[in-house]
Amino acid sequence: MTPRQYRSLAILLIAACARINWAAAQNVDKNQPEAVCPAATSVKAPQLYGIWQVTLINPPAGLPKTAVMLLEKHEEFADSLAGIVSRDGVTAGGHSAKAALAGDVEDGFVILDESSNNISISGTWNGQLVEASCGREVKGVWKDTSASAPPDAPDVPFSMVKRAGW
């Protein structure tokens, strides 16, 4: 094909795609209500599966302010969560760069136990789904429960936002 033929073919394909999209748009029911977010209290574990961006406000010395969390279906308990929290390769105190997570969501509350060694609990995440976030935002407190945590370890506020595409 010559360059002119390629250009003509490209224009034809673009026009065909535009025509298909225009025709599909004609079938949209404008009287149909838009999808409504579920109430935070009705969100179930499968709706939380995915990758989350976590931000800690004033974390303990050595731990980063941000982390990434992967939440998945728990192997043994279908209505529960499992996953990992990754702290960008940072290890501090009793916390490894990647720690296992297990927990539940119930009545709008997300409760996760964190374990840096897969044996003992090194941190707890207690959060609440943000109403009208469609199950895509959680706010709460993280507590350092590792062996190296001071007895009066403070609650550390956090927010989690689900990444797009999940």
Same domain, 46 and 97: yes
Same domain, 158 and 92: yes
Same domain, 9 and 73: no
CATH of the domain at 118: 2.40.128.120
Residue-level pLDDT at 164: 87
Same domain, 142 and 93: yes
Same domain, 58 and 10: no
pTM flag (> 0.85): no
Same domain, 72 and 93: yes
C-alpha–C-alpha distance, residues 66 and 88, integer Å = 8
Domain extent, residue 44, equals: 40-162
Same domain, 26 and 96: no
Cβ(158)–Cβ(141) below 8 Å:
yes
Residue-level pLDDT at 36: 85
Same domain, 93 and 156: yes
Same domain, 82 and 98: yes
C-alpha–C-alpha distance, residues 45 and 135, integer Å = 10
Same domain, 127 and 147: yes
> What's the structural domain count of the chain?
2
Cβ(112)–Cβ(103) below 8 Å:
yes
Show pLDDT as tens, one digit a residue, over the chain (166 residues). 555 544 454 454 454 444 444 444 455 556 655 668 899 999 999 999 999 999 999 998 888 999 999 999 999 998 999 999 999 877 777 788 899 999 999 999 999 999 999 999 999 999 999 999 999 999 999 999 999 899 999 999 999 999 987 5
Q: Which helix (H) or strand (E) element contains residue 64?
A: none
C-alpha–C-alpha distance, residues 142 and 139, integer Å = 10
